[in-house]
Chains A and B, each alone.
Chain A
Amino acid sequence: MFHGYKFRKFQNKLFYFLCLLCVVIAVVPLASILLEVIIRGAPVLSINFLTADGLHGGIGPAIQGTLILIGLTCLIGVPVGVLSGVYLAEYGNNKYASSMRSINDVLTQVPSIVIGITAFSVIVIGVTGSFSPLAGAIALSFMMIPIIARTTEESLKLVPNSVREASLALGVHKWRTTLSIVLASARGGLVTGTLLAVARIAGETAPILLTILGNSYFFQGFNAPMDALPLRIFLNSRLPSPDAQALAWGAALILILMVLSLNIIVRLASRGRLKR
């Protein structure tokens, strides 16, 4: 099974460098993506680029659309996700809860394009009759709910039991304790969980491709197609004109700044709390 000592030492060194190489190889694409997005996206940036509509060479509608989508998605996803998480954490010691927990995990793995088809069939065809920001927000909230439920459950479990007991001992009802004491103690975790979920859905393209379609104009109501940053990147990347492609890179720079800064904020904010 084992060779001579010299060979084994050499083998060991070689293995160390191979593992180090793996790390380097994985970091190269990240560096390359950031570099390309900055080099190709930065020259396009201007006030006009950020605020004008699609007909005047800007991505204003896409930025506005992404913000609207994030807002609407949070409006649906945060209450539902947090309440699910509350149940799983505070009453979750039974078979029903543990099966809900597994199904929650399964839902996080459903391909996003499938969720897009569902939102298209239910909302676009069935409710609004046209492409709509609502359909996009519902599709995205289907992705957000399981994420928030999971992070809520985890942050509520970090709240010490003594806090709950202290509140109950004062005669406060359990529901009131959960809402006013436990949730308030875990608010940091809830906020970081929500920010992470927002960072994740802000870049999703497949579900909104089938539900909001894209638009060169600013928001036109809940019954009309809307634009969004990831969608604009995808649509413009397919256009032959270099100007349109440059626009896609500019939009990519804005999107990546948004997503990465959310991630970095979360990381900095939770550094003290999560330290082991």
Chain B
Amino acid sequence: MRLKFTLDNIFKVAAGIVAASAVVILLLNAYILISGSTIVLNRYGLDFITGTNWNPVTGRESFGVLPYILGTIVTSGIALLIGVPLSLGIAIFLVEMAPKAVRVPISYLVELLAAVPSVIFGLWGIFFLRFWILDYIEKPVNAYLGWIPIFSGTPQGLDIFTAGVILAIMIIPTVASVSKEVINAVPNSIREGAYSIGATKWEVIRHWVLSYGRSGIFGAVILGLGRAVGETMAVTMVIGNAVGPSAMPTSLFAPGQTLPSLIANGFLESPTPLEKSAYIGAGLVLLALSLLINVAAHTMVTRLIKVKGGTVE
């Protein structure tokens, strides 16, 4: 094809170039993180991933992000354990059970939850949820089950468990809305076939609808996981911000730290290039983790439905 310099072609090419802005931004992020973390990666190599110390004192520097990787995984795990069953319940209720009149208002309320800024979740977490969790969950569980290591310690309310609960609330809109689309996409003939052999609604959903949509629902869960892993402010405000070996998530009721909260807390206060580089390295690990999760989710979900980017709508 011969390209002519008509206005039409110029416009098309210009729009095509602008459409590549997402790639440019993504590559810029990757480049900045990789080049910014070379100092720390050259100096510590793999120890940066497996180390547990975080000591910026000159002469005794030591940086390792293992506790924060584990902290990210544990808090996101709690978020999924609590958030996914709730989201599935909501999605099933909205598609299969709710009367038409309440469907729209309820799904709108759930979407509003996604609109609340994360810093407000954090504020609510520090001054309200923290005390509620401390009095009604952590103290009783600690009193009776404190001998189990993950429930040990002296609960303060600002810890890994509270962070997990906040994350669980924050991922509900994402997981619920994608699961809703997935369940909606299950053909009605499947349901009709099941009802016609005498199954109850619960049996139809459990044995037919959910198993038909399982790869899509799995994708919804991973999308929620991606949201939980990258969430910064709410977690930073309630997780207690432990640093170094004490940040290893050994007990749910002890202060911890995730990769994003580590960066939010310390990045600006780091004076030396080595320490700054260590924070950027933590960002690189975080980016790799979240890209991995989202690519997995994307392939899962798009098999069944066309998923919308993020949780915009």
Let me know if A205 and B233 touch, CB within 8 A. Answer: yes
B309 at the interface (CB under 8 A from A): yes
Interface residues of A in 61-97 (CB under 8 A from B): 80, 83-84, 86-88, 90-91, 96-97
Partner of B119, one of A87, A115, A197, A203: A203
Whole-angstrom CA separation of A233 from B77 in the bound complex: 28
Partner of B290, one of A8, A90, A110: A110
B115 at the interface (CB under 8 A from A): yes
A145 contacts across to B, CB distance below 8 A: 21-22, 25
B25 contacts across to A, CB distance below 8 A: 107, 142, 145
A263 contacts across to B, CB distance below 8 A: 111-112, 115
Whole-angstrom CA separation of A36 from B117 in the bound complex: 15
With A8-B203, A145-B25, A259-B115 known to touch, is A111 a contact of B229 (CB < 8 Å)? yes
Let me know if B110 and A26 touch, CB within 8 A. Answer: yes
B191 at the interface (CB under 8 A from A): no
Let me know if B32 and A121 touch, CB within 8 A. Answer: yes
Whole-angstrom CA separation of A80 from B111 in the bound complex: 27
Let me know if B286 and A122 touch, CB within 8 A. Answer: no
A147 at the interface (CB under 8 A from B): yes
B213 at the interface (CB under 8 A from A): no
A99 CB to closest chain B CB, in angstroms? Answer: 8
A23 CB to closest chain B CB, in angstroms? Answer: 5
Q: Mark A238-276, 1 if CB is under 8 A from B, else 0.
A: 000000010011001001100110010001000000000
Q: Mark A11-34, 1 if CB is under 8 A from B, else 0.
A: 110011011111101110110110
Q: Which residue of chain A has its CB nearest to the CB of B204?
A: A12
Whole-angstrom CA separation of A267 from B8 in the bound complex: 36
Q: Mark B281-299, 1 if CB is under 8 A from A, else 0.
A: 0010011001100110010
B226 at the interface (CB under 8 A from A): yes
Whole-angstrom CA separation of A150 from B306 in the bound complex: 13
B155 CB to closest chain A CB, in angstroms? Answer: 20
Can you list 7 pairs linking A and B with CB atoms under 8 Å apart? A8-B203, A32-B124, A87-B18, A147-B309, A205-B119, A206-B232, A263-B112
Let me know if A32 and B7 touch, CB within 8 A. Answer: no
B121 at the interface (CB under 8 A from A): yes
Going nearest first, the 8 A-B pairs with the smallest beta carbon separation are: A203-B117, A22-B89, A111-B230, A175-B11, A87-B15, A108-B310, A87-B19, A19-B93
B252 at the interface (CB under 8 A from A): no
Whole-angstrom CA separation of A111 from B86 in the bound complex: 24
B229 contacts across to A, CB distance below 8 A: 111
Q: Mark B142-171, 1 if CB is under 8 A from A, else 0.
A: 000000000000000000000000000100
Let me know if A113 and B8 touch, CB within 8 A. Answer: no
Most B C-beta atoms less than 10 A away, residue of A88, A117, A248, A256: A117
Interface residues of A in 150-182 (CB under 8 A from B): 150-151, 173-176, 178
Q: Classify chain A: how many residues form its interface, as a range.
A: 35 or more
B86 contacts across to A, CB distance below 8 A: 22, 25-26
Partner of A103, one of B22, B120, B230: B22
Q: Mark B82-104, 1 if CB is under 8 A from A, else 0.
A: 00011111101110010000000
B5 at the interface (CB under 8 A from A): no
Q: Which residues of A contact B (CB under 8 A)?
A: 2, 8-9, 11-12, 15-16, 18-23, 25-27, 29-30, 32-33, 36-37, 40, 80, 83-84, 86-88, 90-91, 96-97, 100, 102-118, 120-122, 142, 145-147, 149-151, 173-176, 178, 196-197, 199-200, 202-206, 209-210, 213, 230, 233-234, 237, 245, 248-249, 252, 255-256, 259-260, 263, 267
Q: Which residue of chain B has its CB nearest to the CB of A175?
A: B11
Partner of A9, one of B128, B200, B287: B200
Let me know if A83 and B15 touch, CB within 8 A. Answer: yes
A162 CB to closest chain B CB, in angstroms? Answer: 20
A257 CB to closest chain B CB, in angstroms? Answer: 11
A239 CB to closest chain B CB, in angstroms? Answer: 12
B36 at the interface (CB under 8 A from A): yes
Partner of A30, one of B23, B109, B294: B109
Whole-angstrom CA separation of A260 from B32 in the bound complex: 35
Whole-angstrom CA separation of A146 from B115 in the bound complex: 17
A20 contacts across to B, CB distance below 8 A: 93, 97
Whole-angstrom CA separation of A118 from B115 in the bound complex: 25
A189 CB to closest chain B CB, in angstroms? Answer: 11
Let me know if A29 and B113 touch, CB within 8 A. Answer: yes
Let me know if A16 and B33 touch, CB within 8 A. Answer: no
Whole-angstrom CA separation of A206 from B29 in the bound complex: 15
B112 CB to closest chain A CB, in angstroms? Answer: 6
B137 at the interface (CB under 8 A from A): no
Q: Mark B1-14, 1 if CB is under 8 A from A, else 0.
A: 00000111011101
Let me know if A113 and B286 touch, CB within 8 A. Answer: yes
B201 at the interface (CB under 8 A from A): yes
